[in-house]
Every structure is written in C-alpha cells, then in structure tokens.
Amino acid sequence: MTAKKALVTGGAGFIGSHIVEGLLGRGLEVVVVDNLSTGRKDQVAVDARLLEMDIRDAGIAKVFAQHRPDVVFHAAAQASVVVSSEDPLVDAESNIMGSLNLLQACREHGIERFIYCSTGGALYGDPERLPCDEQHPIHPTSPYGVSKATVELYLHSFSILCGLNYTVLRYGNVYGPRQDPFGEAGVIAIFSQRMLRGEGVTIFGDGLQERDFVYVSDVVEANLQAIGQDENGVYNIGTGRGANVNGLFERLTRLTDSPLEPHYEPARKGEVYKVYLDVARARAGLEWEAKVGLDEGLALTVDSFR
C-alpha cells in the first residue's frame, strides 16, 4: 500500500464512515466529501477532514487540486431501490452524474486508484443461477441497479481513456452499527429499532426473499485490501449465503425480546426475490473473505441501536 491520502465520498454515511475509520487506522490521511443528506457530522472521525459538498458540485475539481488524494473511495449514492423506482431522475443525477463529476476530477489530477462501492444485490437482477459470480449477466430490475451498472461501464471507459486504475466492489446487503434504513440492508435497521421501541414491523412480500447480508467491518477490510491492487478488478463482497427476511425477523425477535408478530404487505416493485453472491474471486484476488457470521453481526448491530 503506497497511498498516503484518501478521499472518501459519503464518508459521513453508514458504510463510508466505517471506511474512514479503517483508513485512519492504517495511517492514511482522510478527506471526506458528503452533502449530509443522509450522513451525519457526528459519524465522521475527528481525525478526518469533512467538506460539506455534493459530489455533483463543480467545486469537486478544486477539492482534488487542493487536497491531492492518492486514492478515492466512492461510497456516496442514492441507495434506495424504492426511491429509484419512484424517481429515476433523482437516482441518475446522484449516482451517474455525480460519479462522472468525480471521474473527471480523477482524470485531471492523476488519481492512483478509484475504489467504487457498487452492488451485487441489485446489479444482477433475478438470478439465472445462485450464487451469482461476477460473470453473471447484468439485468437490474431497478433504476438503482441500472445506475450502479452504468458507473461500472464508465470506469472501464476511463481506464482506457486516461489510464485510471479502479476496483469495483459489488456489495451484498451491508449491515451493522450506524446502519440507516435507506440502503439495501435497511430492513435490519428498521426491524431492530422498531422492535427495541416495542413497535411492530412490516414484511413486504412473503418473507422468503433472500439476501446476502455482510457485516460492515468485513466490507471495510475489502476496501483496504483493494488499495494495493496492481490491476483493475471487479469483486463480489458478501458471505456466499442467502438469508431470508422471515429468518431475520426470528433472529431479531430473540435479540430484542419483541413479543409482536410481523405484518405482511405486498412485495415492492423493483426488488429482486433471491440473490446471494459467489465470493471466490475476492478470496483469490483480494485475499479477503467475510469473518463475521450473521448471528454475531446481528447481535452487534442490535447492541449498537440499544
């Protein structure tokens, strides 16, 4: 690892703030760019420099010129499948146009590596096979998945145009302390907080839909491993196993001592029914694999909300 300074977009948010702490722990200087639309100042480590700015802002180029980062971690995003389905323009403006603004700045300032927080949960669509490996066809069922896939294509293009080195990390459903209810694994944050308040929860669909839930500390480790890569790479970051929503509810019921039964509503449009990820490539190329099991991760998450 040769990088000494990192820029983290979305570094005041759930995943981004944990990445910031991981980078500081490895001795890097960290600059955070976040518009605080969903992130919070109190989640940014005190040793990081926070710049309150949208990634679509023309001033991004000045940030690169002033702070001269070696590596960029792009975690800022409109991360709700539901929001993207209701307003795809808002999703595209943030996730596509904002990312392009960053890539232009990288092109102008010679960034060593661009590490992109993508999605494995929404990218592949309804899977043809499980677990999904990185060669699985990309057929997203939501505008959110489309926007993430589009930026991956732009990264490939920029690598040809200007030699930008990149790593794409296709996350499963990331959960853990500080999790917000807006991302792909928001169900855990919503269920945990409502159960701890003695409130009931709603399950959309039959509850048998499966996701690959991966704990946030494992995701941070994948990001850190990506810094020292020599080549461009695309990696699934998950556990390789699916867990269904009914099972999550039962686990969280035990952890919170909630006596309430769930309420069921119709499934929401744009959401995949079952998806989990093949992580063999990350094991080989990043020397990475998830270490935190679901029961341990849920207990840590509930304790943090409690």
Asked if 147 and 270 count as a contact pair (C-beta separation under 8 A), the reply is: no
Answer for the pair 251, 298: CB distance below 8 angstroms, yes or no.
yes
* Cα-to-chain-centroid distance, residue 107: 24
Other C-beta atoms within 10 Å of 52: how many?
12
Beta bridge partners of 243: 211
**Which stretches does DSSP call E strand in 132-209?**
166-171, 173-175, 202-204
Count of alpha carbons within 13 angstroms of residue 138, beta-carbon side: 17
Catalytic residues, by residue number, are: 144
DSSP structure class, residue 277 = B
Residue whose C-alpha is closest to residue 235's, from 289, 281, 284: 281
